[in-house]
Amino acid sequence: MTKIKTQTISPQNENILIRLKRVESQFGYIPEESITEVAQSLDLPVSEIYGVATFYSFLATKPLGRNVIWVCQNLPCHLKHAEITIDNLERTLGIKPGETTSDNKFSLELTNCIGACDYAPAMLINRDLHGNLTPNKISQILKLYK
Amino acid sequence: MAEVKVTINGAQTSGREGVTILELAQENGIKIPTLCYLTELSPTGACRICIVEVEGSRTLVGSCHTPITPGMIIQTHSPKVLATRKVIIELLFASHCGFCMLCNKANVCNLRELAADLDVGLSPFQTRKRFYPIEDNPYIQIDRTQCILCRKCVRACREIAENGILGIAYRSFDTKIVIDNDQPLAQDTCRDCDICISVCPTGCLSKPKKLSAAKTGKPLIIC
Amino acid sequence: MPEKQIVLKNCQMINPRDINTYLARHDFKALAKAQVMEPDEIINEVKASGLRGRGGAGFPCGSKWEAARNTPGDEKYLVGNADEGEVGTFKDRYIIENDPFTFIEGITIAAYAIGAKQSYIYLRSEYHRLRNLLENAISQAKDKGFLKHVKIDIREGAGAYICGEETALMDSIEGKRGEPRYRPPFPTTKGLWGNPTVINNVETLMNIPNIILNGAQQFRQIGTERSKGTKVFSVSGDVAKPGVYELVLGSKLRELVIDLAGAETVKMVQIGGAMGRIVSSTMLDTSLSFETILGAGGVIVYNESRDTIDIVLRTMEFLNKESCGKCSPCREGTEAMVKILQKFAGGRGTPKDTGLLEELSSTMMLASLCGLGQAAPFPVIDSLQYFRHDYESRIK
């Protein structure tokens, strides 16, 4: 049973989201143990940490591949045939959105607008932007990631 | 504290500064329906059932969290308010399991009571259903299929029981009341404080049926 | 031409990684001028300019500052909102990529005016790659002694459209789930950690140095009655030249999408993204201003081959996924709308369904807790108004 204590942390510089992002950049996702650790160190209930971890799309609570591909699926990219990009990635990697390649190299995810509509169709790999995608360009880009 | 003069449903009245529209209405014997509000808990403004019409406001306002201001003209049961409340209930019923006849709380359910008051029959809306397995231990039964995400249990667990076992997780339609980091209900998850059960407006949280305490007398047989 | 470079005047002219190239043009002169003014004088100047928030809501900037300044308290905060998540909007990205220094100068002046010693830039996670550029610009400005009165820290989101909404943004900076708070209290009285907080869009803050340096009167010279100055637009979709354009407020939609961005045929234009308004091709002479339609300036152009229902359905699917899930009209309403629109998309609509869409729209607009739920029905309402036949042709 986690009793809530009134003591608060220095909220400006240490809070749940900052901690979770640190965990995420260390492990590539947020393991269960880390949620408990963050809860203990911030003196907050586990449920509250988990609530934050599952709210944000870029925080994963399951392991992902070494590189995560986020393909934009919104209208400006859709108008420029984002589905060809998605289809191409699916066939090249042999996985569907939400899955990870067996060599753990890539995870494929669909995401909402990444603010690169002038380079549509566009995607992020990890946090790098790739735009004006064509099947040829995609195969070149994928080679950049180990 | 200064007295604030307002008009509520055509009648002039006044309340202390800082009082919410809902509190003032209650003081004046006007019943505004609520689902996520409870005097003992911090307001959250999630269910939107307590909305009222305030002259000059572009939208309806949540009465449980809006303090009265001088000269406010409030309508708590105007046609616009009633029509909006009705659609909200219809929406909540769309994703609700709808097996009222089989429900533990069938006749003590706040949601059903409100639906009857607002003349809601079958919901005209279709949404996904939130189907989750029913979980229980000797102290509590959780059937999230009936949850309307009012978050009263979460706040009660934190603010009254000071536990924080229950939390709110995920986002959008997938939002869910979870135990810790979405753990299944275990025998020792919590004991019999019952606070969350007492605040739940639907059949989501209830006391498990004790089969051992079944009728001991002579069976009643109707021929 | 309606084009005029005020906000973007340094873009492509300076090296965004080198403050000296910025100083060669401006020298943080606006901050120097502001610091010999009384905070109230600055606020009055901004009020007199008529500058309204560029993030979509169009709230008068000076009044926001005044409200925060007048709220008692030692701890006050200024937030530069760089959580540009609206579909089809990328102007703040372009601004930060090209001219982080004017943005920072705007923050320093705003913080001085409201009395904030701490400020934050809330950067969307999708723009993580710009973080280094911003940090570099902040540290160069600090080294040059421009940040003596205010600390600027970057806080990054983690992928949630709703966090552009200012109360959700505050919860996210506090490290919580980015769910909107009810109002009142407003952020200017009770914001971050309960303290008075001003949240301004990147582009709003970009206008500040210019207003301080050249005066409110000069700023007011262009624009319309209630929309002064320029607006930066992001144009995408079926156009030859997608990109960022700065226009005098009140310019015609036609000038933007046809003359500048080179659209060939136009069926409809979505202005202000997913929560924005949809107009038909017969409305290209509409002026772009707060009095008419503006939003955050995201403009998506659809040519004649595009399907109305597909556009509206995709927009609603987006809103459904990005609804925070807190209030019932938005969480359940966007879901119910998606289901009805799917019926139309499959040619299975019924005559009753358009009525249901209208009923839902009204409820969501009136009862939702925040701007997302309140504006989510716009694409449905507008398409039902201008393209009703596209719905009716899908009734079985």
What pLDDT, in 10s, does the model give residues C321-380?
A: 999 999 999 999 999 999 999 999 999 999 999 999 999 999 999 999 999 999 999 999
Cis peptide before A121 (omega within 30 of 0): yes
Whether A2 has a pLDDT exceeding 50, the answer reads no
Which residue in the block uniquely carries the two structure tokens 């005559």? C351
Q: Touching check for C190 and chain B: CB below 8 Å?
A: no
Q: Report d(CA A144, CA C153) in Å as an integer.
A: 32
Q: Report d(CA B158, CA C35) in Å as an integer.
A: 47
Output the six-digit token pair for C228.
């002064």
Q: Residue B181 is inside which H or E element, if any?
A: none
Output the six-digit token pair for C262.
């080179």
Whether A5 has a pLDDT exceeding 90, the answer reads no
- Please give the share of chain A, as a percent, with pLDDT higher than 90: 90
Whether C260 has a pLDDT exceeding 70, the answer reads yes
Residue B223 maps to a domain: no
Domain identity same for B91 and B147: yes
The boundaries of every CATH 1.20.1440.230 domain in chain C are 308-392
CA distance B144 to chain C (A): 15
Q: Touching check for B95 and chain C: CB below 8 Å?
A: yes
pLDDT of the residue at A7: 46
> Is the CB of C175 less than 8 angstroms away from the CB of A18?
yes
Cis peptide before C185 (omega within 30 of 0): yes
CA distance C225 to chain B (A): 22
Q: Report d(CA C133, CA C130) in Å as an integer.
A: 5
Residues of B in contact with A46 (CB under 8 A): 164, 167, 180-181
Residues of A in contact with C300 (CB under 8 A): 75-76, 79, 117
The CATH topology of domain C308-392 is de novo design (two linked rop proteins) (1.20.1440)
Which residue in the block uniquely carries the two structure tokens 């309508």? B75
Q: Touching check for A83 and chain C: CB below 8 Å?
A: no
Name the domain boundary from B49, B77, B105: B77
CB C379 within 8 A of CB C345: no
Helix (H), strand (E), coil (C) string for B57-84? CCCCEECCCCECCCCCEEECCCHHHHHH
In degrees, rounded to 5, the angle at the alpha carbon of residue C262 between the alpha carbons of residues C257 and C266 is: 60
CATH number for B139: 3.30.70.20
* CATH 3.40.50.360 is right for the domain spanning A1-62: no
Q: Report d(CA C42, CA C29) in Å as an integer.
A: 14
Q: Residue A47 is inside which H or E element, if any?
A: helix A46-53
Question: Could you list the pLDDT tens digit for every one of the 223 residues in chain B?
Answer: 689 999 999 999 999 999 999 999 999 999 999 999 999 999 999 999 999 999 999 999 999 999 999 999 999 999 999 999 999 999 999 999 878 888 878 888 999 999 999 999 999 999 999 889 999 999 999 999 999 999 999 999 999 999 999 999 999 999 999 999 999 999 989 887 999 999 999 999 999 876 555 556 666 666 6
Q: How far is CA C170 from CA B65, C60, C83, C124, C185, in A?
A: 19, 20, 12, 13, 13
The CATH number of A67-142 is 3.40.30.10
Mean pLDDT (whole number) for A72-95: 97
Q: What is the ipTM of this complex?
A: 0.95
pLDDT of the residue at A12: 80
Output the six-digit token pair for A113.
């607008």
pLDDT of the residue at B210: 67
Residues of C in contact with A127 (CB under 8 A): 125, 128-129
Q: Number of C-alpha atoms within 13 angstroms, CB side, residue C175?
A: 22
The beta-strand segments (E) located in B106-182 are: 135-136, 141-142, 166-169, 176-179
pLDDT of the residue at B99: 82
Output the six-digit token pair for C80.
């530069």
CB A40 within 8 A of CB A73: no
Considering the segment(s) C19-220 as one domain, its CATH architecture is 3-Layer(aba) Sandwich (3.40)
Residue of B98, B82, B102, B157 whose CA lies nearest to B130: B98
Mean pLDDT (whole number) for A81-92: 96
Q: Number of C-alpha atoms within 13 angstroms, CB side, residue B56?
A: 5
The boundaries of every CATH 3.10.20.600 domain in chain C are 230-302
Residues of C in contact with A114 (CB under 8 A): 126
Output the six-digit token pair for B63.
């009465």
CA distance A115 to chain C (A): 5
Model-level pTM?
0.95
What pLDDT, in 10s, does the model give residues C163-208?
A: 999 999 999 999 999 999 999 999 999 999 999 999 999 999 999 9
Q: Touching check for B207 and chain C: CB below 8 Å?
A: no
Q: Report d(CA A21, CA A75) in Å as an integer.
A: 29
Q: Report d(CA A115, CA A130) in Å as an integer.
A: 12
CA distance B93 to chain C (A): 10
What pLDDT, in 10s, does the model give residues A29-74?
A: 999 999 999 999 999 999 999 999 999 999 999 999 999 999 999 9
Residue of C289, C369, C271 whose CA lies nearest to C327: C369
> Is the CB of A118 less than 8 angstroms away from the CB of C90?
yes
* CATH 1.10.10.10 is right for the domain spanning C230-302: no
